[in-house]
Amino acid sequence: MTNKKQYSLLFVQTVERLNNSVRKFAEKNSDILELSTNNPMELLIKDRSKISEFQFLIHSPHQDNRNKILFKAEYNPTNATKIGTKKSVTEEKSILTILEHWTNIIRSYNKASWTPEENILNEYEREFYDNFEILDEDADINPYELDKQIIIHNYFVEVIKVLKVNEEENAELIKEAEEIKDNIPKMTKKTTVKKISRFFANVRKKSLPLLKEVLELGRKEIFKRGIKFVLDNIGDWIALIG
Query: pLDDT tens digits for 36-47?
Result: 876 889 999 999
pTM (predicted TM-score): 0.66
The mean per-residue pLDDT over the stretch 61-75 comes to: 96
Query: pLDDT tens digits for 228-242?
Result: 544 445 555 555 555
Q: In sequence order, which residues have a C-beta less than 8 Å from that of residue 12 and are 6 or more positions away?
A: 4
Range in 29-43, 86-100, 123-137, 194-208 the model is least confident about: 123-137
Please give the helix or strand (H or E) that residue 18 lies within, else none: helix 9-28
Task: Find the distance separating the first CA and the last CA of the chain, reported in whole Å.
Answer: 59
Query: pLDDT tens digits for 96-140?
Result: 999 999 999 999 998 887 877 878 888 888 888 877 766 567 777
Backbone angles phi, psi at 64, to 5 degrees: -85, -175
Domain ranges, ordered by start, for the chain: 4-111, 116-241
pLDDT of residue 165: 94
The mean per-residue pLDDT over the stretch 8-32 comes to: 92
> Angle at Cα 28 formed by Cα 225 and Cα 222, nearest 5°?
15
- Euclidean distance between CA atoms 227 and 224, whole angstroms: 7
Handedness of CA 136, 142, 145, 148 (dihedral sign): positive
Bridge pairing between strands 55-63 and 33-39: unpaired
**Residue 187 DSSP symbol:** S
Backbone angles phi, psi at 73, to 5 degrees: -130, 135
